Structure 1
Amino acid sequence: FIPHTLNEMVDSLNLKAEDTIVLGDLALFMQQSKLLIVFIMLAVILIPTFIFSSIHMKMLHIALHIGAVLINFVLCLSVVSRFDIDALEKKEHFKNLCKIGLTNKEVKKISYKEGNGFYFVLWIFAGIYILSIACTFLIRASIDLGLVGIVLLEFVVPYGMAEFVVYLKKRGQNYELHGN
């Protein structure tokens, strides 16, 4: 849904060339990462549901928290690796952008916006799902806000660190565009 929506936005809106490139690159990246995105969304939906449901079974509850951290860590490593693969695939793309007249600073900006766009979409959808599930359990079950905060941290910390790692890698990769 999201890649197609981004492509429609590019076609229907009167965007600057830079924004058109960013949205096109983001749509392509999301299409190439659809299975990974499905796994992330499954984790976002299922893990909090299992954790909130297991509040009265202490050992299972602890095991689910540990599993949540490990699963999110593996998914974050997968996202970082997917960005590494994307950087290799787009090396010529960025060189071509420089050849058509974009400065190194403009190409960096495009690269950063793509990464930020992916994480922006991830944060919005993950936040909506986790908070919806948490609200349901807050209303119908006897969970407290502390548990909701812990579950949110189990998602925010790994993905926040992954976003920072992707940013640092993109920062280092973009300096190599002109052979500097």
Structure 2
Amino acid sequence: MSEDLPYEVRRAQEINHLFGPKDSEDSYDIIFDLHNTTSNMGCTLILEDSRNDFLIQMFHYIKTSLAPLPCYIYLIEHPSLKYATTRSIAKYPVGKEFPPCAIEVYKIMEKVDYPRNENGEIAAIIHPNLQDQDWKPLRPEDPVFLTLDGETIPLGGDCTVYPTFVNEAAYYEKKEAFAKTTILTLKAKSIRSSLH
């Protein structure tokens, strides 16, 4: 394994070696990838496919099981991020019926960078009113940044959004101060399985 590869790629290769190889008879059917964050995200599930009834049902089950604790669902669809492992679980039913369901998700609209000076350096911080306010409504007139000169910069735009990953330390190098999301409702058909 090459040390030149990004950490995430090397780690994925190690996990595949330990629990795979993927699609082999001995591989695991599902793996949950748990992370922590410096932003105030709370319990968050990341959904990568808004059209997959099985995944929506699974997320609905997890979210319902955790109630009354909040559990947010972040929708970030990207064709290259699809994982075959979650789809393979449906091949091994456990004899349970899941009725149609609906879940509320926060779909990413845009990633917002920090204001920068002519040298590309960060020129403002997250406004104190936005800090730790992940998932809370953010209106166009609400402050999002405070410049080093004390100027307040509002969100702007024409609609209310829901910020996520606010001031996430791991995203400074990615030039992301926070992500703007909108709320959607996803529905899944019933899933019925029986023991073989």
**TM-score normalised per structure 2:** 0.26
Ranked by relative contact order (alpha carbons within 8 Å, sequence separation 6 or more), the top structure is 1
Larger Rg: 2
**TM-score normalised per structure 1:** 0.27
Specify which structure has the higher proportion of helix.
1
